Structure 1
Amino acid sequence: MLRKMRNTVLLTALLVMIAALLGGCMYPEEKKLENQIPSEFYLEATQKAVEQFQKDTGVLPIATKDINTP
């Protein structure tokens, strides 16, 4: 009985270690750092959008709220 329980514990520990090791291999490609779009791209795209909005409307895209607005 004791030997069977020991084998079960060892098998469980082995399976947990294998799962932990394989989990790193399954990390999504799009989440890896080398596959990320640099923040400079977003900064430039946002700046261009703000400039285009100002050119089209004559004002900056800023929403002003009443002083009583929470």
Structure 2
Amino acid sequence: MTLLNLLASRSSRMKASEIRELLKLLDQPDIISFAGGIPDPSLFPAEAIGDAYQAVLGGAEAGAALQYQVSEG
């Protein structure tokens, strides 16, 4: 008995996710994919994000920033 015997017969008709297959191509160094929706990491504003993180979570108010707050509306 194999694991396939435990699955419904319709599961044999399932196809792999096209997105998953496209993302496999990203491992190839000569491929530039515009289809996967994954931006170039060198374009991330890492320094600005770090500064914003420090401004919100770097001081004494960090605990308050992480708490639930009253929601308007």
Q: Is the TM value for this pair above 0.5?
A: no
TM-score normalized by the length of structure 2: 0.27
Greater Rg by CA: 1
- Report which of the two has the higher share of helix: 1
Q: TM-score, normalised by structure 1?
A: 0.28
